[in-house]
Structure 1
Amino acid sequence: MPKQSAGILLYSIQQSILEVLLVHPGGPYFKNKDTGVWSIPKGEFMEDEDGIIAAQREFEEETGQPISGKFIPLQSVKQKGGKVVHAWAVEGNINASAIVSNTFKMEYPYKSGKWIEIPEIDAADWFDVATAKIKINAAQIALVEELDLLISQKSN
């Protein structure tokens, strides 16, 4: 069974513009990377766990803020490494600059015997659809596009 993640695509409509919340991974490997590395808040979950419950847990772990609302299931996507991402969209509004992510320990530099503690997420921000499609992991572009289509159909 390939690894799987569950995540939340939080969205808001500001002056008729759809915006989505994306998060930037923490740590030294992503420090100076921007294009194509942002993601929806997400994390791995076990096969016997309810995906939406896992998505809500991961959102809170990565942003420090709980999430609730009317969750819209989106089509799953497969990332380059084979991980399947299950996602739900929900309308809401959080202060992206106020996120507080959980942390984890990693050996850095690799095989050095030195361990550092880093935040899983070091930034969050709201992006319009065009910008989000540039910033986000390529496999997750489909999530933003699907949400954009659903919202535009809803407003017509």
Structure 2
Amino acid sequence: MADKTSAGVLLFRRGADGTEVLIGHMGGPYFARKDDGAWSIPKGEYVAGEEDARAAASREFTEELGLPVPEGEWIPLGDVRYGSGAHSKTVTVWAVEGDLDPSLVVPGMFEMEWPPRSGRMAEFPEIDRADWFDLTTANDKLGKGQRPYLDRLARILRGE
């Protein structure tokens, strides 16, 4: 089975206190009481070869946050492969410098059976909140598979 492919946008801003990134807390019942490791770069799946990864990243950002990607240069942060077996995934991310008010986020929704094996379907937000974090805090908040993007962004911003 081929890896799943996802693409996303890591929005960042620079200020007097350093660089901050906008990430979203994953919605749904599995993450409701979790914080560290339960946040994600706005991203989503696409079919490689059928859709351009950058177009998918833009679409998924808008679907997850309900807002378009702010105008700005798209800085490629490359691919990261994580997971294993049937759950492996390759994620491609771009960084875009811009600002966005998290209070304006209107998340997309998804449906799943809840509680499990109940036969009842429930609707949940893809993300239940978004916020800005400095790179150190974001490193704790993000799932470990997405953390390399923070290091890559920091190196690029330092000119390395």
TM (norm. structure 2) is: 0.93
Aligned residues: 154
Mapping of residues 66-85 of structure 1, within 5 Å: 66-67=68-69, 68-80=71-83, 81-85=87-91
Paired amino acid for 2:153 = L
Alignment correspondent of 1:129 = 135
Post-superposition offset of 1:79? 2.1
2:105 paired with 1:99: yes
- Equivalent residue of 1:123, what SS? strand
Paired amino acid for 2:14 = I
Q: Distance in 2 between matches of 1:79 and 1:95?
A: 30
Runs of 4+ that moved beyond 3 A: none
Post-superposition offset of 1:97? 2.2
Paired amino acid for 2:75 = I
Q: Which deviates further from its counterpart, 78-87 or 52-61?
A: 78-87
Q: Which deviates further from its counterpart, 73-82 or 28-37?
A: 73-82
Alignment correspondent of 1:27 = 28
Alignment deviations for residues 4-24 of structure 1 (CA, whole Å, 9 cap, x no partner)? 100001000011500001111
Q: Distance in 2 between matches of 1:50 and 1:109?
A: 36
Post-superposition offset of 1:78? 1.4
Alignment deviations for residues 89-118 of structure 1 (CA, whole Å, 9 cap, x no partner)? 000100112210111111001110111111
For residue 144 of structure 1, the aligned residue among 128, 135, 150 is 150
Q: Distance in 2 between matches of 1:79 and 1:36?
A: 14
Q: Distance in 1 between matches of 2:150 and 2:106?
A: 24
Paired amino acid for 1:105 = E
Alignment correspondent of 1:17 = 18
Q: Distance in 2 between matches of 1:82 and 1:76?
A: 13
Alignment correspondent of 2:67 = 65
Structure 1 unaligned regions, length at least 5? none
Backbone CA RMSD of aligned residues? 1.1
Q: Distance in 1 between matches of 2:104 and 2:15?
A: 19
Q: Distance in 2 between matches of 1:153 and 1:131?
A: 22
Identity fraction in percent: 46
Post-superposition offset of 1:37? 1.6
